[in-house]
Amino acid sequence: MKKIFKRMFGSQSTTSTIELEEIEIDATEFNVTTYTPNTDTTIVYLPAIDFHSERFGRRPQRLLKALAEVGYNVIYINSSDEFYQVDALEYPHPELQNFVVARVGHNVRTLFQGDRVIYWVNDSRLASSVETAYPDLVVFDSLTDRDQYEKHKHKMEAVADVVFITPERIYEHGKYCSHVHLVTADEFEIKERAEQVAQIIDALPNRMAPLM
């Protein structure tokens, strides 16, 4: 029996020690690290795309959900262009109580949390309204819609503190504007894109308060 085991596993006394080369692994290469927002922040999505709409591949809905998963408090003010929201507030993701869909016209100020409020804009026609509302930060997530969302895109880009565009949405001046960033929203990489957005907006200072 001992001879059989020696044949299978060898003799401990005669087995030589093999030194293995130490291999260093870069953890970031495998995306095992995550980014945590630096501030307690509320992102308010101004009404443009209905939450249940399939337009634009649900880019705003998926990206904002991912930002809630990162840790932001997200208030999605719903548009009534396609569907009517019966309840004043909806929580479509039970596991994310920091993501709420509010019916347009409902006062959401009581839902603000933290010390920073960010307005997230798709509709470029809101440029003048956003400029006079004095949020801490304005994000323009630029969408391609010549009949509606592109009418005032240049003004909205000037008003916004940061502009996010998709590959289909790249224009030449975007290469030379430091506040324009390419952010894709493919489903398989949505978590990485949310962390990319989080790092960009956390690094930006708040807008100047109006002089009274």
- Each residue of 36-58: pLDDT tens digit? 887 789 999 999 999 998 887 78
Q: Position of tokens 């880009």?
A: 157
pTM: 0.77
What was the pLDDT predicted at 113? Answer: 92
What was the pLDDT predicted at 23? Answer: 52
Q: Position of tokens 């002089």?
A: 211
CB neighbours (10 Å) of residue 160?
23
- What is the average pLDDT across 104-126? 92
What's the chain look like in SS3?
A: CHHHHHHHHCCCCCCCCCCCCCCCCCHHHHCCCCCCCCCCEEEEECCCCCCCCCHHHHHHHHHHHHHHHHCCEEEEECCCCCCCCCCCEECCCCCCCCEEEECCCCCCHHHCCCCEEEEEECCHHHHHHHHCCCCCEEEEECCCCCCCCCCCHHHHHHHCCEEEECHHHCCHHHHCCCCEEECCCCHHHHHHHHHHHHHHHHHCCCCCCCCC
Residue-wise burial string across 3-29, b where 16 or more C-beta atoms lie within 10 A, e elsewhere = eeeeeeeeeeeeeeeeeeeeeeeeeee
Residue-wise pLDDT for 121-167, tens only, equals: 998 888 888 888 889 999 999 887 766 666 778 888 888 999 888 76
Lowest mean pLDDT among 103-107, 135-139, 156-160, 175-179: 175-179
